[in-house]
Amino acid sequence: MYGLLFRALFARMDPEKAHHLAFSWIRCAARIPVLRTFAAAVLAPRHKALRVEALGRRMHGPFGLAAGFDKNAEGTDGLAMLGFDHVEIGTVTGQPQPGNPKKRLFRLVEDRALINRMGFNNEGSAAVAARLAARDAVFPTTLGVNIGKTKAVTEADAVGDYVTSTEALAPHADYLVVNVSSPNTPGLRNLQATEHLRPLLTAVREAADRTVTDRRVPLLVKIAPDLADEDIDAVADLAVELGLDGIIATNTTIAREGLGLTAAPALLAETGGLSGAPVGDRSTEVLRRLYARAGDRLTLIGVGGITTAEDAWRRILAGATLVQGYTAFLYEGPFWMRTVHAGLARRLEASPYATLAEAVGADHRKVTV
Ligand SMILES: Cc1cc2nc3c(=O)[nH]c(=O)nc-3n(C[C@H](O)[C@H](O)[C@H](O)COP(=O)(O)O)c2cc1C
């Protein structure tokens, strides 16, 4: 059904326009009481066994929407209605900015992948904070807020820009994510080096504690799949040392591996971050390495190329407490979350683990004889 809609309508449209159209339908459905009740009942049946506790929150399940879909927090209620157990908004920057010139989003349909160089198009931290303050949720969900650097701000002033966003947005965040891994803001990924990351994360932590005094806002960092293994270890060590709550692994990749031969060469030459199925193996490797290094001292969120329930399950066994997806949502449509939840529940039931929490990182505890 969705496959037909995708081929007949979305695939014929510019990908960014298709995104805006689909998102406007979701927001519209969430405003109509009969429709939203029906949609939630059909698309988001709950599985008790999948309940998780993470980042100080009780969630219906482990499966959330990754950052970038709802950059300005315009439709969190509609996205929760569709069955996402948490929704991460952003990336939001200190100041509003238009992002890169269009066209900046490309579909690689055969590969179930996307290339994007959106460049953090967003309304800025003040506007997004105002929207979140006025939010009236029918489907309460765990809200992650992902922050990044304004392009016009120099690397030397980056910390101040993240602090501006933290002060505006931390009061509305169930968890906060420092994004230093988008390939589309020049120099941003240099902030992953520990000598830059340490002062940045320390300043954001302090700003969050200064701004929100009645609870502790969990803080995570989101990293790229392109980091060298020793840099992954260094980020894990730093996160543990600074008392961070977790790491999100991973963002999109600048590599072009794992693609079929069907994609047009012109498409492969587009600059930007590759997401979807081809990034899955590397994202899993990064996650596995983080868990091997930090174990349960960090809450790991696995993202990158998750399409099926099996993908999500494998990510949990590799060390993820929560998982996220974005690209497959576009290709699989509104029944995707229901399918993944049902598949996860079946896998848990058939496994030796009583709860999802027990399954987290189980791969690392396997005894080989
Ligand atoms: C169009 C698009 C925009 C994105 N924008 C952001 C963003 O603003 N901030 C961010 O941290 N990640 C962003 N991402 C990365 C995703 O959150 C996710 O980490 C990545 O796509 C891998 O997951 P996937 O393979 O399930 O898409 C974006 C991804 C896509 C496809």
The pLDDT tens digits of the residues spanning 249-272 come to 999 999 998 887 666 788 888 999
Residue nearest to atom 1 of ligand 1 (CA): 116
Q: Please check the confidence at residue 192 and state whether its pLDDT lies above 90.
A: no
* 68 CA from centroid of ligand 1 (Å): 5
What is the SS3 assignment for 74? coil
269 DSSP 8-state letter: T
- Rounded CA gap, 29 and 37, in Å? 9
Residues with CB under 6 A from ligand 1: 66-68, 71, 90-91, 105, 114, 116, 118, 120, 146, 179, 182, 222, 251-252, 275-276, 279, 303-306, 325-328
pLDDT score for 196: 94
pLDDT at residue 71 above 70? yes
Task: List the binding residues for substrate.
Answer: 71, 116-120, 179, 184, 251-252
Let me know if 182 is a catalytic residue: yes
Number of neighbours of residue 196 by Cβ within 10 angstroms: 16
Report d(CA 59, CA 232) in Å as an integer. 28
- Does the pLDDT value for residue 37 go beyond 90? yes
Whole-prediction pTM value?
0.97
322-325 and 273-276 as β-strands: parallel, antiparallel, unpaired? Answer: unpaired
| Greater pLDDT, 56 or 182 | 56
Q: Residue 369 pLDDT more than 80?
A: no
User: Is the pLDDT reported for residue 162 higher than 60?
Assistant: yes
Q: Are 197 and 247 in contact (CB under 8 A)?
A: no
Long-range contacts of 153-162 (CB under 8 A, 24+ apart): 153/94, 153/95, 155/187, 155/190, 155/191, 155/196, 158/191, 158/196, 158/200, 159/199, 159/200, 159/203, 160/94, 161/93, 161/94, 161/95, 162/94, 162/200, 162/203, 162/204, 162/207
Task: Given CATH 3.40.50.720, say whether it is the number of domain 2-363.
Answer: no
In this prediction, residue 1 has a pLDDT band, given cuts at 50, 70 and 90, of confident
Residue 2: predicted pLDDT: 86
Alpha-carbon gap, residue 85 to 58, rounded angstroms: 10
pLDDT value at position 263?
67
**pLDDT per residue over 239-252, tens digit each?**
999 999 999 999 99
On the question of pLDDT at 136 being above 60, the answer is yes
Among 181, 182, 275, 283, the active-site one is: 182
How confident is the model at residue 265, as a pLDDT? 80
* Residue-level pLDDT at 259: 86
* One-letter amino acid for residue 245 of the chain: D
pLDDT of residue 4: 86
Supply the mean pLDDT for the chain: 95
What was the pLDDT predicted at 5?
A: 86
pLDDT on residue 358: 97
pLDDT of residue 258: 85
Check whether 367 has a pLDDT greater than 80. no
Instruction: Decide if pLDDT at 51 tops 90.
Output: yes
Mean pLDDT across 105-131 = 96
In angstroms, how far is CA 114 from the centroid of its own chain? 15
**pLDDT for the residue 7:** 85
Distances from the Cα of 279 to the Cα of 116, 139, 304, 309, angstroms? 13, 31, 6, 16
- CA of 198 from ligand 1 middle (Å) equals 24
The atom number, within ligand 1, closest to the CA of 324 reads: 26
Could you tell me if 244 and 180 are in contact, meaning their C-beta atoms sit under 8 angstroms apart? no
Higher pLDDT, 313 or 2: 313
Residue matched to tokens 């698309």: 43
Q: 280: alpha, beta or left, given left = phi > 0 and alpha = psi -120 to 50? A: alpha
Q: What's the mean pLDDT in 161-166? A: 98
Percent of the chain exceeding pLDDT 70 equals: 98
Compute CA distances 3 → 7, 179, 330, whole Å: 6, 33, 10
